[in-house]
Amino acid sequence: MEDDVLSSIAARLARLDKDASDADRAKVVELSGGKTLRDLARGIVEALAIDATQDMPPAEADQRLRDATKPFALPTLREQLLKMKQKADLVIDVVTQDSLLHAGFSEGSDRATALVQSFEDFITQHKDEITALQILYSRPTRAPLKFEDVKALADALHAPPLNIDEGALWQAYATLRKDKVKGATQRRLLTDLVSLVRFAMQQTNELVPYPERVQANFKAWLAQHQQTDNHPFTQEQQHWLEMIRDHIAANLGIEIDDFEYAPFNAQGGLGKVHQLFGAELPRVIEELNRELAA
């Protein structure tokens, strides 16, 4: 099954959990072997995130994804989800376990409008309380935004009574403002929440996946470096810069210790990056953190 389909399923499961009765939730737990709807959704999202950030070998990441989707092979569970579909946008084919008939909001959907309004009301009401919102509302001062801050914001959005999922929210914006939203079918990363907040705050005119924004900033930084530096980057340095770029896209920044972990450690880790950049490494990291996450 395609990753974007799985991401949509996870978003719909999270939404379904909000609308489900206690009896239906209990039935899902019984039929799935002890997993709640949110457990099922979280399992898919975490398995996709592992693959996206290259935290483990591809074969192991694929196995995690197979394990996350295994409960849906149970006909009784699929039948139960079908019975609960009246208040959800998720439709699962009861004949073939991995066929998604429809996922998303209908054009002009009231649910899309309500979801976007709930999100925008929340960030306005809590802009002085939640660290990530305080920092984003203070732009362009460029105070550093940490992954932990965005994770805390995501946790607040995921919690009742909101139960807002980034994937569903992105789809809602795509339904209401299709001409302003890009990457609606792409896998969502947690850092995409930064793009969602900026768009809701009208700091940006388009809703663009955070990795795409980082990629554009990286290209601009690289072009500036080539114009002003008499020593262009080697091909190997360029490769490491691209890995750093991807790490920032998924984690909002990079620190020296990060080079001891995947994917860097598989290619020489901290010793290798010091060998390639030498005394310039701290400056390069500082610039990339500042310019790419801008």
> Is pLDDT at 286 greater than 50 in this prediction?
yes
pLDDT in tens, 100-154: 333 456 555 788 999 999 999 999 999 999 999 999 988 665 668 898 999 999 9
DSSP type of residue 106: -
Amino acid 182: pLDDT: 94
**Which range is least confidently modeled, 131-135, 225-229, 236-240?**
225-229
Amino acid 56: pLDDT: 66
Q: Residue 44 has which token pair?
A: 């898919």
Model pTM score? 0.63
d(CA 273, CA 267): 9
Per the CB < 8 A criterion, the answer to whether 84 and 16 are in contact is yes
d(CA 275, CA 214): 25
Amino acid 95: pLDDT: 32
Which residues contact residue 259 at a Cβ distance below 8 angstroms, ignoring those fewer than 6 apart?
Answer: 265, 269, 270, 273
Task: Specify burial of residue 77 (Cβ count, 10 A radius: 0-12, 13-18, 19+).
Answer: buried
d(CA 170, CA 183): 9
At how many degrees (to 10) do helices 192-200 and 210-228 cross?
100
DSSP secondary structure of 11-26: HHHHHHHHH--HHHHH
**Which range is least confidently modeled, 111-120, 225-234, 237-246?**
225-234
∠ CA 120-111-28, nearest 5°, is 110
In the chain, domain spans: 3-102, 110-208, 212-292
**Which range is least confidently modeled, 72-86, 242-256, 257-271?**
72-86
